[in-house]
Amino acid sequence: MDLTETSKRILASCLDAKPGEEVYIVTDDTRVKIARALYEGARALGCEAVMTVMKERSLNGEEPPRVVAEAMKAADIVVCPTAKSLTHTNARINAAKAGTRVATMPGITEEMFGAGAMTADYGEVEKLTAKITELLTKCRTARIEKDGCVLTLNLEGRNGIPSPGVYRLPGQCGNLPSGEAYIAPLENGVNGEMVIDGSMVGIGKLDSPLHVVIRDGKLREITGDKSEMLNILLENERNATVGELGIGTNRAAVLNGVILEDEKVYGTVHIAFGTNTSFGGTNKADCHMDGIILNPTLYFDDTLIIDKGSFAV
């Protein structure tokens, strides 16, 4: 697999990188090989490429150094192959506000570059993502059902956000690879119980399900194998807040324990705890941690959207 050739394809097709544009690669000590390939790919396309290597962040959603955040605002395109996610940071928000096209790649591996979600038909992904995003924006409540558990989420007044993997216009941003529609529920409007059985940030791919109890938008209890690895979620009310509901729309994505791809798996649902200020919420926490629900049944208001993992729309 030629990482540089893959990088050229990604930069051209997903980010519309053009000769003369300034492409800023932000990475950490764990992803330098991928970042270098993106740097070389950008140069091969005639772009002005710059790469910065920083210390690995300790948590998803932790801000990068100030000098990196400032540089992100000045570039035409920013690509972030990092161990921890910069997706829900103020640095990413402010770069997008400044007109930068941003693709974040939290947890990306060399293997993921040439397989799975990265190989999707992004025209198809874009269409389904737009449809689900529109439905999210129009509905007032969502309901997830799985193995006898029910979780209801108040979405009133919040807008759905598309992450189709295609970011060609100023200010557009999202993950790569991608394929999801997501929304910030009201911070006090999530109630019920749910099983998380796909993967969970902080653990990886799950061998057995986690069980969560949520009241008034806050995680009150989490049990299951290795749940002690998620104690940060119970440290304070901000970390415990349900910050996101997301729906995977990428047929090529596979569950592999890396949340970047796991949350894009077609017909899955994920909920996340922590920060949601980057997509319409009001909660700024110490983290943003997603959990994947396999083969869910999902309703928007009373309209069936997913039936045990199969889209009904």
3-state secondary structure the chain: CCHHHHHHHHHHHHHCCCCCCEEEEEEECCCHHHHHHHHHHHHHCCCEEEEEEECCCCCCCCCCCHHHHHHHHHCCEEEEEECCCCCCCHHHHHHHHCCCEEEEEECCCHHHHCCHHHHCCHHHHHHHHHHHHHHHHHCCEEEEEECCEEEEEECCCCCCEEECCCCCCCCCEEECCCCEEEECCCCCCEEEEEEECCEECCCEECCCCEEEEEECCEEEEEECCCHHHHHHHHCCHHHHEEEEEEEECECCCCCCCCHHHHCCECCCEEEEEECCHHHCCCCCCCCEEEEEECCCEEEECCEEEEECCEECC
Structure confidence at residue 114 (pLDDT): 80
Structure confidence at residue 162 (pLDDT): 93
263-293 per-position pLDDT tens digit: 999 999 999 999 999 899 999 999 999 999 9
Q: Is the pLDDT of residue 1 over 70?
A: no
For residues 126-148, average pLDDT? 97
Structure confidence at residue 287 (pLDDT): 93
Residues 3-114, CATH architecture:
3-Layer(aba) Sandwich (3.40)
The span from the CA of 194 to the CA of 117, in Å, is: 26
pLDDT > 70: percent of the chain: 100
Q: Are 95 and 73 in contact (CB under 8 A)?
A: yes
Q: Is the pLDDT of residue 214 over 80?
A: yes
Structure confidence at residue 119 (pLDDT): 87
9-53 per-position pLDDT tens digit: 899 989 999 999 999 999 999 999 999 999 999 999 999 999 999
85-106 per-position pLDDT tens digit: 999 899 999 999 999 999 999 9
Q: Is the pLDDT of residue 176 over 90?
A: yes
For residues 216-245, average pLDDT? 97
For residues 306-313, average pLDDT? 97
Pairing of strands 161-163, 149-154: unpaired
Instruction: Delimit the CATH 3.40.1830.10 region(s) of the chain.
Output: 3-114
Q: Helices 3-15 and 32-44 sit at what angle, rounded to 10 degrees?
A: 60
Using pLDDT thresholds of 50, 70 and 90, give the confidence band for residue 113.
confident
Name the residue among 127, 133, 161, 129 with its Cα closest to residue 300: 133
Using pLDDT thresholds of 50, 70 and 90, give the confidence band for residue 123.
confident
Average predicted confidence (pLDDT) for the chain: 96
